[in-house]
């Protein structure tokens, strides 16, 4: 089965891992990418999405999206995690293509309307474009095949004790996405923090695949420094690629079903919680993961690249 996916992204080191995994996967067709602020500005995110598509030798249209959250004052970009240009210490990369002339939320709605029942939305950044798309054309909720998100976590945060970065960067957008009646899988910190790749893993993919694995290995060195200084672990939590792997390999995950909501103010802003509101739909929340299965799936896919 081919998965037609739209990746909404703020590349970002682990976004690059997710996008290259998806680009190489024989059962995934990336039919578009959309940029969002978060790890970097939306302009840099659009450029970096094109960098990744060109490096993978794929002609993927990229639409520029939101550069600020729906309601709250923007948080600073996460350059201390991903580097000023998004790929660690690497300087800005040149591109040949340019973003398409259509705002991300309209691009998302158009593609879903042109491919009813076929598109999996895969947001791996703040959910602003996705909330704007729902607002622009609520009928997409009935036409999308699946919405598989990297974000949130039921009992943990990363950017604060309570909040995961993507949700914290636009909690109002995330709450609107969880309130909608469409099939959401929230691949959150409950599973993504368990999947960690270490320097020898990246050395392995760099040796096997200099162009793509080598690129990731170079970028991830900055991520290693962040994780070592913040968590005392020399390794990379595999947030965004774990979400894409949940599309192709759901068998690696143990799923719970919960109605979800997001705390939008106060000390716990950005926290994703189980909702008691009976009007909210239940969504899928992976809470267990076959750590080695996901790791090897990722590493093997990049190794077979070039």
Residues known to be catalytic: 239
Q: Check binding of 241 to Ca ion (CB under 5 A).
A: no
Lay out the site mask for Ca ion across 84-123 (x = CB under 5 A, - = otherwise).
----------------------------------------
**What residue ranges in the chain does DSSP mark as E strands?**
3-9, 28-35, 62-63, 119-123, 146-150, 184-187, 196-197, 236-237, 253-262, 272-274, 282-289
User: Minimum Å distance from CB 152 to Ca ion?
Assistant: 13
143 and 112 Cβ atoms separated by less than 8 Å: yes
Per CB under 6 A, residues contacting ligand BDR are 12, 14-15, 39, 78, 81, 124-125, 150, 158, 164-166, 239-240
User: Minimum Å distance from CB 150 to ligand BDR?
Assistant: 5
What does 78 bind: Ca ion, ligand BDR, none (CB cut-off 5 to 8 Å by kind)?
ligand BDR
Using CB under 5 A as the binding criterion, the count of chain residues that bind Ca ion stands at 6
Residue 131 structure tokens: 């909330």
**The binder of Ca ion chosen from 6, 7, 8, 15 (CB under 5 A):** 15
Residues numbered 125 to 144 that lie near Ca ion (CB under 5 A) are 125
State the helix-helix crossing angle for 104-114 and 128-136, rounded to 10 degrees.
60
CB-nearest residue to ligand BDR: 165
User: Minimum Å distance from CB 259 to ligand BDR?
Assistant: 22
178 and 147 Cβ atoms separated by less than 8 Å: no
Q: Check binding of 302 to Ca ion (CB under 5 A).
A: no
| Residue 31 or 77 having the CB closest to Ca ion | 77
User: Minimum Å distance from CB 18 to Ca ion?
Assistant: 8
- C-alpha distances (whole Å) from 135 to each of 25, 43, 105, 238, 260 are 32, 23, 9, 31, 19
User: Minimum Å distance from CB 94 to ligand BDR?
Assistant: 23
What does 24 bind: ligand BDR, Ca ion, none (CB cut-off 5 to 8 Å by kind)?
none
User: Minimum Å distance from CB 119 to ligand BDR?
Assistant: 20
| Residue 124 or 301 having the CB closest to ligand BDR | 124
15 and 214 Cβ atoms separated by less than 8 Å: no
**The binder of Ca ion chosen from 5, 7, 12, 298 (CB under 5 A):** 12
What does 158 bind: ligand BDR, Ca ion, none (CB cut-off 5 to 8 Å by kind)?
ligand BDR
DSSP state of 193: T
Nearest residue to 35 via CA among 6, 60, 17, 9? 9
Q: Give dist(CA 87, CA 91) in Å, integer.
A: 8
Measure CA of the first residue to CA of the last residue in the chain; give whole Å. 24
Nearest residue to 125 via CA among 14, 229, 201? 14
264 and 173 Cβ atoms separated by less than 8 Å: no
**The binder of Ca ion chosen from 28, 45, 124, 186 (CB under 5 A):** 124
Q: Give dist(CA 22, CA 4) in Å, integer.
A: 10
What does 164 bind: ligand BDR, Ca ion, none (CB cut-off 5 to 8 Å by kind)?
ligand BDR
Q: Which residues bind Ca ion (CB under 5 A)?
A: 10, 12, 15, 124-125, 240
């Amino acid at each position: 089965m081919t998965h037609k996916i739209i990746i909404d992204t703020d590349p970002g080191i682990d976004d690059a891992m997710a996008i290259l995994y998806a680009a190489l996967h024989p059962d995934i067709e990336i039919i578009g990418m959309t940029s969002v602020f978060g790890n970097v500005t939306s302009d840099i995110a659009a450029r970096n999405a094109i960098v990744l598509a060109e490096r993978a030798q794929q002609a993927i249209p990229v639409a520029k999206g939101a550069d600020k959250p729906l309601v709250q004052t923007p948080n600073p970009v996460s350059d201390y995690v991903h580097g000023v240009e998004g790929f660690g210490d690497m300087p800005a990369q040149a591109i040949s293509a340019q973003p398409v002339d259509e705002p991300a939320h309209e691009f998302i709605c158009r593609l879903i309307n042109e491919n009813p029942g076929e598109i999996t939305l895969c947001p791996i950044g703040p959910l602003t474009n996705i909330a704007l798309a729902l607002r622009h054309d609520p009928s997409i909720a009935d036409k999308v095949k699946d919405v598989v998100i990297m974000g949130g976590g039921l009992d943990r945060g990363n950017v604060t004790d309570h909040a995961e970065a993507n949700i914290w960067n636009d909690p109002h957008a995330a709450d609107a996405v969880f309130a909608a009646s469409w099939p959401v899988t929230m691949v959150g910190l409950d599973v993504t923090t368990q999947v960690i790749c270490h320097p020898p893993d990246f050395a392995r993919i760099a040796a096997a695949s200099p162009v793509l694995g080598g690129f990731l290995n170079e970028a991830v060195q900055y991520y290693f420094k962040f994780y070592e200084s913040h968590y005392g672990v020399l390794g990379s939590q595999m947030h965004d690629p774990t979400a894409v792997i949940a599309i192709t390999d759901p068998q690696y995950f143990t799923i719970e079903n919960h109605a979800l909501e997001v705390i939008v103010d106060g000390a716990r802003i950005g926290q994703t919680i189980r909702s008691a509101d009976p009007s909210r739909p239940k969504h899928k929340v992976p809470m267990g993961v076959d750590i080695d299965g996901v790791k090897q799936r990722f590493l093997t896919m990049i190794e077979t690249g070039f």
